Amino acid sequence: MGERVLVTGATGFLGQHCILQLLAAGYEVRGTVRSLKREAEVREALQRGGADGARLTLVEADLTADAGWAEAVTGCTHVLHVASPFPLVQPENEDDLIRPAREGALRVLKAAANAGVKRTVLTSSVAAVSAGHDKSGGRVFDESDWSDLEKPNVSAYEKSKTLAERAAWDFIATPEAKGMELAVINPGAILGPVLSADTSSSLEIVRQLMSRALPACPRIGFPIVDVRDVASAHLAAMTRPDAAGKRFICTEKHAWFRDVAGVLDTRFGPEGWKIPTGELPDWFVRLVALFNPTIRSITPLLGVERRFDTRRIWKELDWKPCGMAAMVIASGESLAELGVVQKK
């Protein structure tokens, strides 16, 4: 094929699956890492996913600094900008999250435009679509919607994703973009098979259930999607001519903790895993949140169900997701295989 694609965040959950699919499709791939000391770790993860890595090179580049980005994009026809901070616990200073997300996106886009990259695909989030809006339900969000950052209780993460994506669209409309195209993928909580023990924050849903960090399930849910389906959406948005200039909401369905627990219990219960499938009252979740920072960060989601219109990604990217059971089981099996969770 001869084309080279840059993938930012080669140590990350989604970044590694994007690299796997690009290699399988015949592309040359260059991945960025903050330190080349992690190269062996990345290559081991990709080998676990079935790739030999012969067409992969890794380079050092950090979202918070200019060094390395011009060299990283040189000779690349496309960029998948996947890297962005996603902490388990919200920082005390929201700028610690917002600045690297927004400035990092602009740093990558400017370097890509200067190098003559044809199209960049940016990983955003549904957090840039629905945050700050009424939580009473009934509304269905689509790609025309943006999070309202003026409302209270919008998290630093939601602000970081919204401001980074806004900055990307603003940049692409300027002469400085030099005609480079942009497409954006807005996924929900990403589950699916893990390739290394350095797991994504979104997999805490499964990890907490399998490790019995909670005695039962909080009344909290998320729009979920399989990492393999998010990666395939990135490749489709990269190659389809009519994807340029568009956002694509990338979620399969809304799932409550109890829905995920039910799938895990069916798969792992017969093997002796004790998966909590009952439901916790809201007052108890708020009590647990005093001692569990992961739960504390998601208590604003108690009882909230966000619904999204995903017709665009199905139709325009010919997207065919794998299903909730497949992504939850793959998450659990890989976490157990890597020793991230252990039977109690």
Residue 63, C-beta contacts closer than 8 angstroms, at least 6 positions apart: 8, 83, 84, 100, 101, 103, 104, 107, 108
110 is a catalytic site residue: no
Q: Which of 110, 159, 161, 246 is catalytic?
A: 161
**Contact criterion met (CB below 8 Å) for 65 and 181:** no
**Contact criterion met (CB below 8 Å) for 5 and 56:** no
Q: Hunting for tokens 């990269």 — which residue is that?
A: 238
Q: 3-class SS at 325?
A: helix
Measure the CA angle with vertex 123, ends 34 and 8; round to 5°: 25
Measure the CA angle with vertex 117, ends 17 and 18; round to 5°: 5
DSSP state of 285: H
Q: What share of the chain is helix, strand, coil (3-state, %, to 5)?
A: 45, 15, 40
Burial of 344 from C-beta contacts in 10 A (0-12 / 13-18 / 19+) = exposed
Facing residues of 59 across strands?
Answer: 32
Calpha distance 168→142 (Å, rounded): 19
Token pair listed for 103 = 């400035």
Segment holding 186, helix H or strand E:
strand 181-187
Calpha distance 251→186 (Å, rounded): 8
Q: 3-class SS at 218?
A: coil
Q: Hunting for tokens 């647990």 — which residue is that?
A: 288
Q: Which residues are catalytic, by number?
A: 161
